[in-house]
A and B are shown apart, each in its own frame.
Chain A
């Protein structure tokens, strides 16, 4: 079965796969996580704000994003971002947007819905006495959130947030539909150029598997430690 398995094609393309492909994947994962966490926290605060229009907006936004497939959203924004850019800069023609920017915007907007649900659960898990005490001390709403509620919510939800980041890492492979050379895209390019589909796709699978496994093992240990502290 592995008689004509060509390890050399993997060795030859290692630098392309990791320096170009994996760098793209990891940068996208990192920036999208930070962006989605910030935007998601804002959405969660809106949802819990008690102001009707904000609650509505956040609720519809989250439900909409969570009922659409990521592939469709990727296509949406691939075509939409140039027009948004035109609108924001007020130029006369659609803006030219690179593959990276377009996919970063997509992932921030899409994953924010999922991160916001996690942060909402985190904020709700904090006992009512905490914001009440903060208010009694004379802190404003934003100070209460910034110094009292959000740090604890974030800490309680850290394992779930990290698990979502692993999902995000795996989801970035879907930029393949735009023929962007992320890690899988790079592997696929080499596979088609050299006619070595079996080797390249198996190698890609092993790399994704190893990274996700190590990461989720780390999350599990972190979870055990947090549970111990409580």
Chain B
């Protein structure tokens, strides 16, 4: 293989004047994590609401939840980001569109909202199956105790359901981290984009991508280990995972 390896490249200064190549990659990693966490907050809030809607006895509510999930699940994330980034400012009234276009950090906000809504459909599906997996007696018992529907969800169903779906939610969060790289197409300079920039500046393709790969792996490992502790902490006594 006639490729010239140079692993010391990471400590050489990058031409964009922000420090070494390693600093460049780390700033990308930071932006990846920031975007992922902000998007995850949106995904959790919207996903929980829609997930609950889908399990309510009201036909209209579950129909609305169904349409929401289908809407966000049946379009590629890339296309959704393009809709938010290129199409939305054009179809809004002029003044609003102009405001959106002139917003500083537009790629970050677009990526956060677009990715958050995209993931919210998946969170909703997980939560719905979690609520669905609870024995029917829980809801009946709550009703028999005189709890309203809102109280039943708040005190009985959701605390159980969220604990049950914690493992799949962890992998959805990791998907969120990975999916931030799609925002490279709307100009978000996250980890993959920084690796690509490093490759263009230095021509050390494989070093740059190896470093990005290692950083993504580290994020995965840290999240997986942290969530194992959380899972142990909130485990329900009497269930297989419980004490």
Say which residue of B75, B87, B205, B213 sits within 8 Å of A72 (CB atoms). B213
B185 contacts partner chain A, Cβ-Cβ < 8 Å: yes
B225 contacts partner chain A, Cβ-Cβ < 8 Å: no
Asked if A79 and B2 make an inter-chain contact with CB atoms under 8 angstroms apart, the answer reads no
Do A171 and B213 contact each other (CB < 8 Å), given the known contacts A75-B196, A198-B91?
A: no
> In the complex, what residues of B have CB within 8 A of residue A83's CB?
1, 3
For A216, give the chain B residue with the smallest CB separation. B74
Asked if B206 and A79 make an inter-chain contact with CB atoms under 8 angstroms apart, the answer reads yes
> In the complex, what residues of B have CB within 8 A of residue A209's CB?
71, 74-75
List 17 A-B residue pairs with CB atoms under 8 Å apart, sorted by A's residue number: A67-B174, A68-B178, A68-B216, A69-B177, A72-B213, A79-B209, A170-B77, A173-B76, A176-B185, A177-B185, A205-B79, A205-B80, A209-B75, A212-B73, A212-B74, A212-B75, A213-B70
Asked if B178 and A208 make an inter-chain contact with CB atoms under 8 angstroms apart, the answer reads no
A26 contacts partner chain B, Cβ-Cβ < 8 Å: no
A64 contacts partner chain B, Cβ-Cβ < 8 Å: yes
Say which residue of B195, B199, B217 sits within 8 Å of A64 (CB atoms). B217
> In the complex, what residues of A have CB within 8 A of residue B80's CB?
205
Asked if A208 and B75 make an inter-chain contact with CB atoms under 8 angstroms apart, the answer reads yes
* B interface majority secondary structure: helix
- Give B residues with C-beta under 8 Å from A: 1-3, 70-71, 73-80, 82-83, 86-87, 90-91, 174, 177-182, 184-185, 192, 195-196, 199, 205-206, 209, 212-213, 216-217, 220
**What would 13 more interface pairs be, CB under 8 Å, given A68-B213, A94-B2?**
A69-B178, A69-B179, A71-B181, A72-B209, A86-B1, A176-B78, A177-B184, A188-B82, A198-B91, A201-B79, A201-B83, A201-B86, A208-B79
Give a binary string over A184-225; 1 marks a CB under 8 Å from any B CB, 0 the rest. 100010000000011001101100110011001000000000
Asked if A72 and B79 make an inter-chain contact with CB atoms under 8 angstroms apart, the answer reads no
For A212, give the chain B residue with the smallest CB separation. B74
* A interface majority secondary structure: helix
A136 contacts partner chain B, Cβ-Cβ < 8 Å: no
> In the complex, what residues of A have CB within 8 A of residue B177's CB?
69
Say which residue of A76, A79, A184, A201 sits within 8 Å of B87 (CB atoms). A201
A19 contacts partner chain B, Cβ-Cβ < 8 Å: no
> How far apart are the CA atoms of A145 and B79 in the complex, in Å?
41
What distance in Å separates the Cβ of A101 from its nearest Cβ neighbour in chain B? 18
> How far apart are the CA atoms of A68 and B191 in the complex, in Å?
12
Asked if A205 and B83 make an inter-chain contact with CB atoms under 8 angstroms apart, the answer reads yes
> In the complex, what residues of B have CB within 8 A of residue A208's CB?
74-76, 79
Closest 7 CB pairs of A and B: A212-B74, A69-B181, A69-B178, A170-B76, A67-B220, A71-B181, A173-B76
For B217, give the chain A residue with the smallest CB separation. A67
Asked if A173 and B79 make an inter-chain contact with CB atoms under 8 angstroms apart, the answer reads yes
Asked if B209 and A75 make an inter-chain contact with CB atoms under 8 angstroms apart, the answer reads yes
Say which residue of B3, B82, B192 sits within 8 Å of A71 (CB atoms). B192
Asked if B78 and A67 make an inter-chain contact with CB atoms under 8 angstroms apart, the answer reads no
> In the complex, what residues of A have CB within 8 A of residue B205's CB?
79
For B210, give the chain A residue with the smallest CB separation. A76
What distance in Å separates the Cβ of A220 from its nearest Cβ neighbour in chain B? 11
> In the complex, what residues of A have CB within 8 A of residue B71's CB?
209
> How far apart are the CA atoms of A216 and B80 in the complex, in Å?
18
> In the complex, what residues of B have CB within 8 A of residue A202's CB?
83, 87
A229 contacts partner chain B, Cβ-Cβ < 8 Å: no
What distance in Å separates the Cβ of A106 from its nearest Cβ neighbour in chain B? 13
A157 contacts partner chain B, Cβ-Cβ < 8 Å: no
For A83, give the chain B residue with the smallest CB separation. B1
> How far apart are the CA atoms of A69 and B196 in the complex, in Å?
14
Say which residue of B74, B90, B178 sits within 8 Å of A213 (CB atoms). B74
> In the complex, what residues of A have CB within 8 A of residue B217's CB?
64, 67-68
Asked if B178 and A170 make an inter-chain contact with CB atoms under 8 angstroms apart, the answer reads no
> How far apart are the CA atoms of A220 and B100 in the complex, in Å?
39
